[in-house]
Amino acid sequence: MNKPVDRITLRRPDDWHVHLRDGPMLQVVAGYTARQFARAIVMPNLTPPVTTAVAAAAYAARIRAALPPDSDFQPLMTCYLTDTLEADEVERGWQQGAWVAAKLYPAHATTNSAHGVTNLDAIAPVLERMQRIGMVLAVHGEVTDPAVDVFDREAVFIERSLIPLTERYPELKIVFEHITTAEAADFVLSRPHHLGATVTAHHLAINRNAMFQGGIRPHHYCLPVAKRERHRLALVKAATSGDARFFLGTDSAPHLARDKESACGCAGLFTAASAIELYAEIFDAAGAIDKFEAFASLNGPAFYGLPVNAGTVTLERSPSAVPARIDALDNYVVPFRAGESLSWRMA
């Protein structure tokens, strides 16, 4: 047997899907992402959502202002698609560098998605334009039909929306965000190009049992919801394969503890405090630490058509502590694996 690797150096990684929020929560969480990642694709589901180039530029400036002046962290902004957004505005924001991608939330699929798209036909001109200019479409891949079981919403989305989308716009670059099922991993692998997927650390780490371990566990509830163990195993296989279509996206989504520990708790896990260590544990356990750089630092930039980062980070097999709680506003955020020790840390 090979000696286990205890230290790896990789190109600085990026997070291709994160929620940084705004206002006081942004002040709390921005530093965690910037400590680990050179860039991040920042989700636009604020209230109100980010739908104009002006709003995206202002939000990017607020993110930079929340970080120390010597931070070189680069927020990569996204535009929130609505039924009424104009193709010209989407293209203008992209040409100006206000955003690098547009986010498709099916209306009411998840947190702050009430303004999302009700029908793909409504955004046909926008999708045509994005296909023409080579702009990435990031998709929350779940149907919202209440008749569909919550655990089936991703797989049904492939049939009802993603297949028609890829057929209608064969050259459109699509990221199937935070995939949670074997069906999603297989569908991505069935397409030769233009379809990629982000995989979160928590969907690689837990299955749906974690939500019900000895009682209801709101801090393991997110959307898309965690699935059965066989799906988790399929995600681990895909992410650790080195295949260029899979890349790192934490979907770290902070909510106050009181909003999660409630009769109608919010969806979202906060992983940004230890994201790179969480992923390193998974790749290590899968015997695939040699594939980690592709997943964390190379595949995402290649898909988005951006350069890889200059500089490197080193991870070592050495304990790192996840905070038990992180003070926020007049309450706190409970991070994923709060208070536990992880077996890797960033040197």
> 251 catalytic, yes or no?
yes
Residues in contact with Zn ion, shown as a per-residue x/- string from 262 to 291 under the rule CB under 5 A: ------------------------------
Residue 223 binds ligand NCD, judged by CB under 6 A:
yes
Residue 293 binds Zn ion, judged by CB under 5 A:
no
Considering only residues 247 through 286, tell me which ones interact with ligand NCD, judged by CB under 6 A: 251, 253, 267-268
Residue 20 binds ligand NCD, judged by CB under 6 A:
no
User: What span, in angstroms and rounded, lies between the C-alpha atoms of 313 and 306?
Assistant: 19
What's the closest the beta carbon of residue 5 comes to ligand NCD, in angstroms?
A: 31
Closest CA to 140 of 107, 167, 185: 107
Q: Which residues of 6-17 are buried (b: 16+ CB within 10 A; e: fewer)?
A: eebebbbbbbbb
Q: Is the Cβ–Cβ distance between 19 and 50 less than 8 Å?
A: no
Residue 15 binds Zn ion, judged by CB under 5 A:
no
Considering only residues 236 through 255, tell me which ones interact with Zn ion, judged by CB under 5 A: 251
Q: Is the Cβ–Cβ distance between 136 and 173 less than 8 Å?
A: yes
Q: Any idea how long the chain is?
A: 347
- Closest CB to ligand NCD among 93 and 116? 116
**Which listed option, ligand NCD, Zn ion, none, makes contact with residue 154 (CB within 5 to 8 Å by class)?**
none
Considering only residues 100 through 139, tell me which ones interact with ligand NCD, judged by CB under 6 A: 110-111
Contacts of 291 (CB under 8 A, 6+ apart): 240, 241, 242, 283
Closest CA to 302 of 256, 224, 245: 245
Q: Which SS3 state, helix, strand or coil, does residue 294 take?
A: helix
Closest CA to 334 of 345, 326, 342: 326
**Which listed option, ligand NCD, Zn ion, none, makes contact with residue 343 (CB within 5 to 8 Å by class)?**
none
**Which listed option, Zn ion, ligand NCD, none, makes contact with residue 196 (CB within 5 to 8 Å by class)?**
none
- Closest CB to Zn ion among 129 and 153? 153
User: What span, in angstroms and rounded, lies between the C-alpha atoms of 143 and 307?
Assistant: 34
Residue 142 binds Zn ion, judged by CB under 5 A:
no
Q: Which residues are catalytic?
A: 251
Judged by the rule CB under 5 A, the positions of this chain that interact with Zn ion are 251
* Residues binding ligand NCD (CB under 6 A): 19, 45, 110-111, 140, 222-223, 251, 253, 267-268
